[in-house]
Structure 1
Amino acid sequence: MDVDKVEVGTMVLDKRRDRVGEVMDATASWVYLRAFGGGREWVTALEDVEPVGVHERLRARVAEVNAARQRRP
């Protein structure tokens, strides 16, 4: 993926980790991602990200809701 196409705030799939994240920053080689809805940031190589489709967005949202339910007392 081209660094010009990776915009802060967009959702991408980290193919190496099979994980959807929100772009927090991007350089010529690296993309800084954060889990949808918050969480710890991670870094991945630019070539390991791709735009997400509806399926991946829904999967990330379901994972966020499930995690929130597990945190409730």
Structure 2
Amino acid sequence: MAGSCLPAYRQELTGHHHGTLLGITGTGRPNGYSGTRFFTAATGRLTEAWVLGDLDSLRRQLGRTASDG
């Protein structure tokens, strides 16, 4: 990777909520998480990463609303 290349990928993760996640005790519910990751690299190695994900959607799937805090 050379120049001003900014590698990225989009992710879709699915699973079941069995342990504490985002402060929410396991519910057993199926859930999904989508997001995008961006990277910078130097000398053939990743040097930085940024992750953008839809945490509000994940919280709703686990049973928490914005008014819950």
Q: State the TM-score, normalized to the length of structure 1.
A: 0.28
Relative to total residues, which structure has the larger strand share, 1 or 2? 2
